[in-house]
Structure 1
């Protein structure tokens, strides 16, 4: 018998499926996951992929020749945006106008540390011609069990939650955050006494 859940890929003890809710979104998410993230027991991209039927998750580093991604990007019925805080990134309001007008939209998320996400962006030349979109700068993350470069650094599931909530305010995506928080609380409870306070609150 496998020690890992066939759905979420996590160990049976740490399975997150009990907290996952099926959600409906008109905006499609495409998650490009750095291959190193697949080894992390606390990765959050899986929450998005399991919750949203119309989402995709591809693993790699250089996605320039990724056939499945390029097939999506070549679909002219969709407008594609990369969630990336570059200098030329547009406000989410620009994308919201398209969604409100019932245009088909896909948002691409880069799943990795800032350093690895930047490398993925540099290597993946097929993303360079896409419009970049940014989130509001005042959002704060709650990834308490992973060191972040700043208070407003967001996990992948938090970024997905915020962009979907901003683009489709009529829909409730809070179950994404609920599953995220449940996963964090479970992981904290598995730590020996004092480890969380020493390593993450200091």
Structure 2
């Protein structure tokens, strides 16, 4: 007998959070560049972005050719990359309309950095970071610090700064629901590590 998977997000219904996701309209164009190993991960939050932001586009980056259409687009559109670096600018300093479309890297920190470094055109785009990021509620995966955000949390914080008229709470609510549902599936002997 097959597993009961959600037709919308493709994960098991026990951890599906589509019921917590509602579409957010009027957001800037968003591109999620995803490491292939992250694509099927049940703890990943890119699927939350997919459901809450119908206009967002996700590209699973298996080869440089996967990014070619976006590379060409970058030649005539003001794109910004949300990824901290020594030369990145605080998102809080972005003027309205300065960046038309945003690129968010989805994967472990090491894999996201490798994706950035392996694409010179991506490195050449303006990079941005949060000068004071919100504290992450996403405690079911390891991160270097509590200030490192899951993809959906980073997108919510990005919307708060660049599209303040958009309500980002559906993203945060879905992340909280995902954490709780993942914890419910864990044996108590493991769950206590995350609480």
TM-score by length of 2: 0.90
Number of equivalences: 194
The offset of 1:20, in angstroms, is 1.2
Mark the runs of 5 or more structure 1 residues left unpaired by the alignment.
Answer: none
Q: 1:79 to 1:98 in 2, by over 3 A?
A: farther
Mark the runs of 5 or more structure 2 residues left unpaired by the alignment.
Answer: none
Deviations 1:19-71 (A, max 9, x none): 11011133111000101112311100111121112211000255466233234
Q: 1:146-157 alignment to 2 at 5 Å? A: 146-157=141-152
The 3-state SS of whatever aligns with 1:10 is coil
d(CA) in 1 for partners of 2:139, 2:27: 30
Q: Does 1:43 align with 2:50?
A: no
How much is the aligned-residue C-alpha RMSD, in angstroms? 2.0
Runs of 4+ in structure 1 over 4 Å off? none
Deviations 1:77-101 (A, max 9, x none): x310000111111121442x133xx
The 3-state SS of whatever aligns with 1:40 is coil
CA contact (8 A) 2:33 2:104 kept: yes
d(CA) in 1 for partners of 2:122, 2:140: 30
TM-score by length of 1: 0.87
Q: 1:11 to 1:68 in 2, by over 3 A?
A: farther
The 3-state SS of whatever aligns with 1:14 is coil
d(CA) in 2 for partners of 1:3, 1:51: 22
